[in-house]
Copies of this chain bind each other. A is one copy, B any other.
């Protein structure tokens, strides 16, 4: 039997991120200023982000050097292993080869620190003293806390109140790394106070938390804001995942026929997939790409490709993306990271160009596949990641039926150690499936901003 884990040494770790903007068959649509209707420029973003990240957001350079200081932090857990799922293949009785990139080995337990560390570094370099952000279930907030601590930057996380109260573990993780975590809506911001005035018991939402974090950053010269997905520079930083995977596939003597990942804002899948998308565009590889989303938040499978706001309060620039409308209210599924109304513009663009497919699954089927995986491979995945696992399982079963020996690869983006309550509900048959109603989608999409560039 060949190796179970395909490892890279630290010397073999990629020294550059890959920027797909250099290889796109058509350029990305511009980001639009909601006031002027004109494309925004770097200066419009300067109150929120350091210039180093803004320049990456719009860069057309194919490869961007990873600074030494970031590489040194990555080495705490990177290169992450690419694992051949021999046991799961056997359990599924499939002739397919299944590989997964295992990002759960990072200290916060997901792919999120790949960009959190980079963002903290560029902020530090420009003298930023404090970074604000929002977090739902806490994956992103904990990753940014970890990263800010290493670069000696204050970190303030506005955490959706209902998660703050119900899911204390990720919050304690943030505090262990020295961050301040505040339940949102808070009394610290105008946005928060306004919500609390209307509803003192507001459970909060990601939209509100974004508004709070952005408000503090916009008002304080020494404070910037950080986002954990969607934006081009976030996806850029995540390409370390796919670049490593390419080197690992080369070592294994294989190349994936199908590349799979779950999508919420899109960063873990993009990070894994984009280097392989390059091969499809440039080298005419025939790889299939499958983005997997929940039926309860079917952004790509049921949404429209239109200009929309990134947040509920309509404070962000307008981004062309698949969207369910910025007023979208997600059902309480356990994959908290996949409940975003929009999607990374780069992924939407590739989807629109026909370079990528999308599928949606119900959460019960998703947990069923997660248990199948965990019982074969040991590692218990996050509910978000389990969406990728479900799609992989379906591909593997199709191969069993057709006899095809396809190479299937998915990004195992994080562990489920803080999601075990959801596993318990699945095991107790207490989970519900949610389908987002067609009429609600139509209604939300009827209220999209009237802009089309």
Contact = CB atoms under 8 A, between A and B. Distances in A.
Contacts of A149: 375
Contact of A5 (B75, B169, B377, B420): B75
A240 to B, nearest CB: 16
Given A3-B9, A77-B378, A375-B149, A420 B72 contact: no
Interface string A137-176: 0000000001001100000000000000000110011011
Most buried by B among A83, A106, A178, A420: A420
B176 A75 contact: no
A420 B375 contact: no
A330 to B, nearest CB: 24
A379 B146 CA distance: 10
Contact of A424 (B109, B175, B420): B175
A377 B76 contact: yes
Contact of A176 (B87, B175, B371, B377): B371
A378 B4 contact: no
A170 to B, nearest CB: 8
Contact of A7 (B9, B105, B420): B9
A247 B108 CA distance: 28
B176 A420 contact: yes
A417 interface: yes
A446 interface: no
Nearest to A378: B107
A374 interface: yes
Most buried by B among A377, A379, A418: A379
A173 B77 contact: no
A230 to B, nearest CB: 25
Contacts of A11: 3
A380 interface: yes
Given A4-B75, A107-B380, A172-B423, 16 more contacts: A1-B72, A76-B83, A76-B87, A107-B378, A107-B379, A108-B378, A149-B375, A168-B420, A172-B420, A172-B427, A173-B380, A176-B380, A176-B423, A177-B374, A177-B375, A417-B417
20 contacts: A1-B72, A3-B11, A5-B10, A5-B76, A7-B7, A107-B378, A108-B378, A146-B378, A168-B420, A168-B421, A169-B417, A169-B420, A169-B421, A172-B420, A172-B421, A172-B424, A173-B420, A176-B423, A176-B427, A177-B374
Interface of A: 1, 3-5, 7, 9-11, 72, 75-77, 83, 87, 105-109, 146, 149-150, 168-169, 172-173, 175-178, 371, 374-375, 377-380, 417-418, 420-421, 423-424, 427
